[in-house]
C-alpha cells in the first residue's frame, strides 16, 4: 500500500480522507496548507499527494507548481469544492495533476482516483520540463495579464491559414471591412474557409485557455486582421481595453483574447503591444496613471500566440514598415456568463458530430449564429 500526504485546510475533511484511505491499507500524513505540505513532502517523500485547491498561506495550484518544478515525478490528485470561475481544477490538471476531483465525491470515486494516480507512469524528464514551462506560463499570465506562446501554429499550418485568407480575399472581398489606416478585418472568414477551423479552437493553446477560464470556456468571436505596409504614413498606438475584469477570480479574467501571428513580428514591423499588469489589480488603472515606457511591443515568428486578459490595456502598434501584418483574433468567455460579441457567424460544422468538449466550447452561440441555426 502507498504513503499518501493529504493537504487540506479543514481538519474534519482531513479526518474523512484519513478514514477512507486507511480503510484500504494506505499510510496517511496530513498538512493544513501548502506550505506545511511542502515541508512534509521533503521530509517524508510520500507516493501520492491529495491536495485541496483553495487554502490559506499557499494554495493548491501554487503547491502543484512548486512540486512539479522540484519533483517532476510526483503523483498528485487535486480536489476542490469551488464552482464556476473559481474552479481551478483545469489549472491543476494543466500543471500536471494526474487526477482531479470535485467535492462532494464518494469513497469509491476517491479510491478509483488513487488507484489511477498510483498506477500512472512517472513523468519522463521531458514531460517534467514541459510542465515546468507551462506552469511558468500560467504564473506569468497571473502576474502580467498576458503571456506569449511560441509555436502555437506550425510553419505548415501558418501557410495553410494564409492561403485560406488569400482565397477569402479573392472570393468574398465584400465581407471584409476596411477600418481605415490600412486595416482590413473579416469576422466571417470561417464561413467559407474550413482551413481556418483549427484557429477557432487552437489545440496547442486549449489547455492553457482552459486553465485560465475553466472548463465552461466558450468561444465569443473569431476574426482575421490584416494591417497593410506603411512605408511613410502616420504611426499610432491606440491603447484601450475590450472588457472589464473579475478582480476576485484567480486570474482576474472575465474574457480571454488570443492573437495568432501569421507573419513575422519584429522591431521593424507592426506589432501587438501591451501594458503589463494593467488588468491584474482590484481597480483597473486609468491610462493616464500608467507608465507608457513599460509597454511591451511583442515580437515573434509567424505561429506565435499571445493570450491576454481583455481588461489589459493593449494596442495595435502601427509603425512605418514595408511589411504587411496578418493576425487571427479570438475572444473567449464562459458559457455561464453574458456574451461579449455578436459579430462572428460560427458554422455548424465546427461542433456537429464532434466530442463533448468541442460541443461545450461552441455551446453558447451568439444571437446572429443562434438565429441562423434556428431559422435556416
Tens of pLDDT, residue by residue over 228-281, are: 999 999 999 999 999 999 988 879 999 999 999 999 999 899 999 999 999 999
Long-range contacts of 162-165 (CB under 8 A, 24+ apart): 162/262, 162/326, 163/195, 164/189, 164/193, 164/195, 164/196, 165/189, 165/193, 165/196, 165/224, 165/226, 165/262, 165/326
The answer to whether residue 21 sits within a structural domain is yes
Which CATH number is 288's domain given? 2.60.120.620
Whole-number pLDDT of residue 173: 95
The answer to whether residue 129 sits within a structural domain is no
Whole-number pLDDT of residue 197: 95
The answer to whether residue 348 sits within a structural domain is yes
CA distances from 123 to 45, 51, 74, 152 (A): 16, 19, 8, 23
Whether 76 and 182 share a structural domain: no
| Contact residues for 302 (Cβ-Cβ < 8 A; gap 6+) | 153, 155, 158, 261, 262, 263, 264
Whole-number pLDDT of residue 215: 84
Do 101 and 113 touch, CB atoms closer than 8 A? yes
Residue ending a domain, among 124, 158, 177, is: 124
Q: 154 phi and psi, to 5 degrees?
A: -75, 165
Whether 197 and 71 share a structural domain: no
Whether 105 and 177 share a structural domain: no
Whether 150 and 115 share a structural domain: no
CA distances from 183 to 159, 177, 180, 198, 228 (A): 21, 8, 6, 24, 6
Residue ending a domain, among 92, 124, 156, is: 124
Overall domain count for the chain? 2
Whole-number pLDDT of residue 152: 92
Whether 154 and 301 share a structural domain: yes
Sign of torsion over alpha carbons 74, 77, 81, 84:
positive
Structural domain boundaries, residue 244? 145-375
Residue ending a domain, among 70, 94, 124, is: 124
The answer to whether residue 137 sits within a structural domain is no
Whether 313 and 342 share a structural domain: yes
The answer to whether residue 130 sits within a structural domain is no
Whether 210 and 109 share a structural domain: no
Whether 41 and 152 share a structural domain: no
Query: Digits of tens for pLDDT over the chain (376 positions)?
Result: 789 999 999 998 898 888 889 888 899 999 999 999 999 998 888 999 999 988 888 888 888 888 887 787 889 999 987 655 455 667 777 777 888 888 888 888 888 889 888 886 544 444 444 554 567 788 899 999 999 998 899 888 999 999 999 999 999 999 999 998 899 999 999 999 999 999 999 989 998 999 999 889 999 999 999 999 999 999 999 999 999 999 888 799 999 999 999 999 998 999 999 999 999 999 999 999 999 999 999 999 999 999 999 999 999 999 999 999 999 999 999 999 999 999 999 999 999 998 888 999 999 999 999 999 999 8
Whether 112 and 203 share a structural domain: no
Whether 107 and 155 share a structural domain: no
Whether 66 and 17 share a structural domain: yes
Amino acid at each position: 500500500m502507498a504513503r499518501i500526504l493529504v493537504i487540506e485546510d479543514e481538519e474534519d475533511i482531513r479526518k474523512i480522507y484519513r478514514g477512507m484511505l486507511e480503510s484500504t491499507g494506505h499510510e496517511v500524513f496530513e498538512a493544513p496548507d501548502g506550505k506545511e505540505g511542502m515541508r512534509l513532502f521533503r521530509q517524508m517523500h510520500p507516493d501520492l499527494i491529495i491536495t485541496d485547491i483553495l487554502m490559506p498561506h499557499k494554495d493548491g495550484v501554487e503547491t502543484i507548481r512548486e512540486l512539479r518544478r522540484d519533483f517532476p515525478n510526483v503523483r498528485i490528485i487535486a480536489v476542490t469544492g469551488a464552482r464556476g470561475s473559481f474552479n481551478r481544477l483545469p489549472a491543476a490538471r494543466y500543471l500536471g495533476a494526474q487526477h482531479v476531483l470535485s467535492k462532494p465525491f464518494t469513497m469509491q470515486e476517491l479510491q478509483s482516483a488513487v488507484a489511477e494516480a498510483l498506477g500512472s507512469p512517472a513523468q519522463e524528464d521531458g514531460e517534467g520540463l514541459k510542465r515546468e514551462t507551462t506552469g511558468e506560463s500560467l504564473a506569468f499570465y497571473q502576474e502580467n495579464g498576458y503571456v506569449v506562446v511560441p509555436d502555437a501554429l506550425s510553419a505548415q499550418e501558418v501557410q495553410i491559414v494564409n492561403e485560406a485568407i488569400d482565397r477569402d480575399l479573392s472570393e468574398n472581398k465584400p465581407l471584409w471591412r476596411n477600418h481605415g489606416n490600412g486595416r482590413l478585418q473579416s469576422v466571417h472568414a470561417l464561413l467559407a474557409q474550413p482551413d481556418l477551423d483549427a484557429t477557432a479552437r487552437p489545440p496547442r493553446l486549449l489547455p492553457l485557455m482552459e486553465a485560465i477560464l475553466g472548463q465552461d470556456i466558450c468561444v465569443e468571436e473569431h476574426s482575421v486582421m490584416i494591417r497593410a505596409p506603411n512605408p511613410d504614413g502616420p504611426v499610432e498606438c491606440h491603447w484601450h481595453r475590450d472588457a472589464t475584469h473579475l478582480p476576485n477570480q484567480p486570474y482576474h479574467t472575465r474574457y480571454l483574447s488570443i492573437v495568432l501571428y501569421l507573419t513575422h513580428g519584429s522591431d521593424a514591423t507592426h506589432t501587438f503591444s501591451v501594458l503589463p499588469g494593467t488588468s491584474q489589480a482590484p481597480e483597473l488603472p486609468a491610462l493616464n496613471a500608467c507608465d507608457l515606457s513599460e509597454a511591451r511591443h511583442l515580437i515573434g515568428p509567424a505561429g506565435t500566440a499571445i493570450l491576454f486578459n481583455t481588461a489589459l490595456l493593449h494596442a495595435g502598434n502601427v509603425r512605418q514598415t514595408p511589411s504587411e501584418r496578418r493576425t487571427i483574433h479570438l475572444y473567449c468567455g464562459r458559457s455561464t456568463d453574458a456574451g461579449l460579441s455578436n459579430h462572428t457567424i460560427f458554422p455548424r460544422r465546427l461542433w456537429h458530430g464532434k466530442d463533448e468538449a468541442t460541443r461545450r466550447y461552441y455551446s453558447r452561440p451568439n444571437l446572429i449564429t443562434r438565429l441562423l441555426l434556428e431559422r435556416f
